[in-house]
Structure 1
Amino acid sequence: MAETTLKVVPQADLKNVDPVWTTAAITQNHGYMVYDMLFSMDSKLQPQPQMVDSWKTSDDGLTWSFTLRDGLLFHDGSPVESKDAIASIKRWSVKRADGQALMTRVKEIVAVDAKTFEIRLEKPFGPMLSVLANPTLPLPVMREEEAQTDPNTQVTTIIGSGPFVFDDKAWVPGDRVVYRKFKDYKPRSEPVDGFSGGKVAKVDTVEWIYIPDTNTATQALMSGEVDAYEIPPLDLMPMLKADPNITVKVLDTLGKMGHIRPNHLYPPFNDVRARQALQLLVDQREFLAAQVGNPEFETVCYAVFMCNSALESEAHAEPWMKPNPEKAKELLAAAGYNFKDPIVVMLPTDQQIIYNNILVMVGKLKEIGVNVDAQAMDWSSLTSRRAKTDDPNTDPKVGWHIFPTWWTGVPMSSPLTNAPLVSTGDPKTAWFGWPKDDEIERLRAAFMDAGTKEEQMKIVDALQKRFYEFIPYLNTGQFVTPVAWRNTLKGVPNALLFVAWNIEKTE
């Protein structure tokens, strides 16, 4: 039987391969290919066991015991054991908002035997399974050797236990990434459902083919040169929908939130007045028109925890919904900004949605007299540079003041998982931009103890109020991005993103 190759145009070029070190979506997608997780979310966003076979909780809620499935192997042939899971949990939790929340309650994590480990708590932690099943910043189980790497240093040896093996010898940054079927992978017996169930590799090879020009990538899909396009350009969506050979589908119905992040460490955006100035330049309708340009896929949303989510609230947002450039200029001046000083803005030229988003902000800044140093680069270069804490005022080629991105709505929709809301100010625990605000941290901690929906919403409203007082980041509008694939593909899982397992390729 001839070998089959699934060819996908990914959303970006893959340069960073450690899904713990970075939150870049392309690296998380890479993580799903190579690694397996202890738990995974089904299509209803309910946690289901993945590598775990069975688990139990003590009556007082302080001890959680987990036993791994039989037959789990890493790609080098070594068995997956408790020590690997424990080291992976500890490393991941340093970099993830919900992992950090969990570790504030953890007394110790210990191996009972080679397949069973316990998480012992100082205080009960109700969302344990949901945290271990984080769907968008998942917990990849690495070998203990790699998982003992400092989480602020990239792992470079990529050996997982998932359904595909990363072929590092065939990887050509800027061109393609290659994955091979792991023939010794033992899938679960349950049918695939979202990210959960049996991950059956039905193709022999998966190739991510990087095509930065969206028109070229769209034509490659329509001609059959590639089989799928992860984030096709929304302005070409009518043409793709009209093609009888192509399926266009929104997999993540909650969607994404456009996002602009200022650097809190250095002037001028270490001053809240400068960040408030940025907020007063945002008209979400304008930003959405540029970054999406199709009302079918757009939602104006000033809710910190997403619109159409369980914790939706626009409390205290109204004063910030209307742009005021004159006031923005006054606030920047009051913050001590000299309008001759360059503001370094990173522009990811190969990410159409984000690129169009930041171009609007660049235009708004220039309109009020800001000296914008707009530096063009590809997305992978941006995701590497945003981790640097150098002062952009003294080293504008290394440091930065502002960068754009988008966040998947699921983690953004809770104080527990909203990573850019973490305001510890510590580059080791806070997300790039490094805000520091004790009140936000106090409210996030209180949310963990909220026992009822009413109590949760009181904290959400308080967080909304503090968010717009402090401005840790800017939301530029909510949107969905359909995935497109040729009808020769069968069995595409109904996960939040396009994953390669269970897909059959027919001719």
Structure 2
Amino acid sequence: MTSAAAIAIGLSAYSVPAWADNTLDVAIIGEADTLDPMLSTKDVVSIVTQHFVETLYTFDANWNVAPLLAVDLPEISDDGRTYRIALRQGITFHDGSSMDSADVVASLQRWTEMASRGKAVADRIEAIEAVDANTVEIRMTEPYSPLLSLLAFSNSAAAIYPEEVLGEALSAIVGTGPYKIIEHVPDQYLQLGRFEGYQARDEEPNGPAGGRLQLADEIRFIPVPDPNTRVEGLLSGQYDFADGLPAESYARIAESEAAEPVLLRPFGWPIFAINHKDGLLTDLNVRKALQAALPHDDMMFAAFGDDNFFIVDAPMYPEGWTWRNDAGTELYNQNDQARAAELLDAAGYEGTPLRILTSRQYEFHFKMAEVAKMALEAAGFAVQMDVVDWATLGQRRNDPALWDIYITHSPFLPEPALTSLYSATSRLGWAEPDKEATLAAFTTATDQAEREALFADLQKAVFEDVGFIKIGGFNALQGQRAGMTGVNPSPWPYFWNAKAE
């Protein structure tokens, strides 16, 4: 089969019926395996759900916390333990019911029980209570500096739902956002339409903060797992926006009259997430062998091909960020298979396969895994590559019996505590005692200089205990229809202010 024929088949497989003229068609990397953003840290879930489910706070264009369903930033007691939050009045859910403090309290309590980020902070929360119909109070057992950032994040989100739909599983997906779900055909499309009862904020749009304007009548999110199909659909005019595009498509998009590239620089970091709960990598020497063997330069070049799109860089944050430091970085990019073999001998390794769970929907994940496999085998590891679709990866990584490493990535986030990998309650289960003490001190401290010093200690622990492995830093490529306006470059692109010419 010719590549052109394959692309044609790929495009037709993801074609959807035409509806309103003022519709934005957005190609995403795959099916969102849940429409409840509390239950997932996957970017694709955040991208779609932020249009119909909202939080008390969000971030503005400069990553400052800003109010969304809250009236303003909270009143915080002098001891830093009590947050009093006034709620906007007149907010209506998609089912026609009005939002009040009972809905918010019940939603936040579910967040502490069900969401990975909520569970990570649950033991710091003394109570979540309604003061009156329009005011909520959160009392902490001790100061907790990342709380507002956690409440603002659309990923493992502290989403607000009507109290009546709450349970371990929601009885319905009912939010307050500018769009509501019209129809969902899994693996084909998620169709959203304007919510006529939406109450936008009065402020000017400022990143995700401020007014969320319903410029499009409908938004359709179309799962397109093949990255080349996403590129071709963008260039042909089938899609108004496409996420997660391969670096090598940049020139074609830039030269096209139909589309234009959207480059996120810097975007984030690829991660080898390590299983500390079960299997081979519960042994520190095996983890150190893994760390010693990996050739980061080769992995990043294989993943991105063009050094305009990547940097081999050890610290957890890039140049210019307040959190950047060099603690522990001498252990990065060793590319020393002989040293890895010595560490495997010390561990008494007997050839049990190292299971790497990855997906081709993010092609750079797979390419990194291929290079890693060769280097690890050279060091003496037996390697088992489990290549699945992204939705299946999201399910399997919840069971520690099924993987040793899963490959993921994260944008650089303004608050390190938003990165759930540091927490013992994450899927990784990294619970080393000294790291736990450092993390507790980091999240309790309120002085910025003290927090920066503690984060350096936390980064050192990542390298010395091999909590997880940052492979490098990278820029990300998206694409949009030529002349499209209102889509700010973001790891989680949003389309309430977007208009396609």
SS at 2:493's partner residue? coil
Is 1:14–1:177's contact at 8 Å kept on the other side of the alignment?
Answer: no
Q: Partner letter of residue 197 of structure 2?
A: D
- Report the counterpart of residue 432 of structure 1 in structure 2: 427
Q: Mapping of 1:322-341 within 5 angstroms?
A: 322-339=334-351, 341=352
Equivalent position SS for 2:99: coil
Q: Offset of 1:451 from its aligned partner?
A: 4.3
Measured in 1, the distance between the counterparts of 2:180 and 2:151 equals 23
Identify which of 106, 127, 133 aligns with 1:87: 106
Does the 8 Å contact 1:17/1:156 carry over to 2? no
Deviation at 1:369, TM superposition (A): 3.6
**Structure 2 residue corresponding to 1:474, chosen from 454, 463, 469:** 469
Distance 1:99 1:198, change over 3 A: same
| Residue 51 in structure 1 maps to residue 78 in structure 2 | no
Instruction: Give the structure 2 partner of residue 400 of structure 1.
Output: 403
Per-residue CA deviation, residues 193-218 of structure 1 (Å, 9 max, x unaligned), is: 11101111211221122222222221
Report the Cα distance in structure 2 between the residues aligned to 1:109 and 1:313, rounded to whole angstroms: 36
Maintained 8 Å contact 2:295/2:372: no
Equivalent position of 2:149 in the other structure: 130
- Distance in 2 between residues matched to 1:145 and 1:272, nearest whole Å: 47
Relative distance call for 1:52 and 1:364 in structure 2 (3 A) is same
Unaligned runs of 5+ in 2: 1-18
Match of 1:386 in 2: 397
The alignment status of 1:220 with 2:260, answered yes or no, reads no
**In structure 1, what is the equivalent of residue 243 of structure 2?**
230
In 1, distance between residues paired with 2:436 and 2:222? 41
Deviation at 1:155, TM superposition (A): 4.0
| TM-score scaled by length of structure 2 | 0.90
Aligned equivalent of 2:499: 504
Asked if 1:375 corresponds to 2:370, the answer is no
CA deviations on 1:439-469 (whole Å, 9 max, x unpaired) are 1110011113434443223212222322222
Partners of 1:388 and 1:212 in 2: CA distance: 23
Displacement of 1:98 in angstroms is 6.0
Separation of aligned partners in 2, 1:198 and 1:347: 38
3-state DSSP of counterpart to 2:26: strand
- Give the direction of change, closer, same or farther, for the CA distance of 1:333–1:144 in structure 2 (3 Å limit): farther
Equivalent-residue separation in structure 1 for 2:484 and 2:150 (angstroms): 32
1: distance between equivalents of 2:151 and 2:464?
32
Which of the residues 29, 38, 45 maps onto 1:11?
A: 29
Shift of 1:117: 1.1
**Equivalence for 1:427:** none
Preserved CA contact (<8 Å) 2:293 2:379: no
Q: What residue in structure 1 maps to residue 214 of structure 2?
A: 201
The counterpart of 2:90, out of the listed 71, 81, 88, is 71
Of 486, 489, 492, which residue of structure 2 is paired with 1:491?
486
Equivalent AA in structure 1 for residue 60 of structure 2: D
SS in 1 for 2:38: coil
> Which residue type is aligned with residue 420 of structure 1?
L
Matching of residues 116-265 of structure 1 within 5 Å = 116-134=135-153, 136-149=155-168, 154-155=169-170, 157-167=172-182, 170-251=183-264, 253-265=265-277
> Structure 1 pair 264/375, CA: closer, same or farther in 2 (3 Å)?
same
1:280 aligns with 2:292: yes
1:51-96, Cα deviation, whole Å (9 max, x unpaired)? 1114433444443221211221111111112122122223324566
1:358 paired to 2:358: no
Q: In 1, Cα distance between the equivalents of 2:453 and 2:115?
A: 24
Question: Is 1:221–1:228's contact at 8 Å kept on the other side of the alignment?
Answer: yes
Change (3 A) 1:490 1:185: same
Change (3 A) 1:181 1:451: closer
Alignment size in residue pairs:
482
Partner of 1:112: 131
Q: 2 CA distance for matches of 1:246 and 1:482?
A: 13
Rounded Cα–Cα distance in structure 2 between residues aligned with 1:303 and 1:326: 25
Distance 1:94 1:254 in 2: 33
Q: Secondary structure at the match of 2:492?
A: coil
Out of 42, 47, 51, the residue aligned to residue 33 of structure 1 is 51
From the superposition, tell whether residues 202 and 62 of structure 1 become closer, same or farther in structure 2 (CA, over 3 Å). Answer: same
Is this contact kept in 2: 1:288–1:298, CA < 8 A? yes
Shift of 1:114: 2.0
Question: Which letter does structure 1 place at the counterpart of 2:449?
Answer: E
Q: Report the 3-state secondary structure (helix = DSSP H, G, I; strand = E; otherwise coil) of the residue aligned with 1:255.
A: strand
Partner of 2:420: 419
- Whether the 8 Å CA contact 1:268–1:336 is kept in 2: the answer is no
The one-letter amino acid paired with 2:108 is I
Counterpart of 1:462 (choices 436, 457, 465) is 457
1:129 aligned counterpart, secondary structure: helix
Report the AA paired with residue 140 of structure 2: L
Alpha-carbon contact 1:254-1:410 (below 8 Å) kept: no
Contact 1:193 1:493 in 2 (8 A): no
The more displaced of 297-306 and 200-209 is: 297-306
212-221 vs 100-109, which moves further: 100-109
Paired AA for residue 158 in structure 1: I
**Structure 1 residues 338 and 490 mapped into 2: Cα distance closer, same or farther (>3 Å)?**
same
Partner of 1:394: none
Relative to structure 1, the CA distance from residue 155 to residue 361 in structure 2 (aligned partners, 3 Å threshold; closer, same or farther) is farther
Map Cα deviations across residues 158-206 of structure 1 (whole Å, 9 max, x no partner). Answer: 2111111123xx3232222222221111111111111101111211221
Higher mean Cα deviation, 110-119 or 208-217?
A: 208-217
Cα 1:484–1:351 shift into 2, 3 Å: same
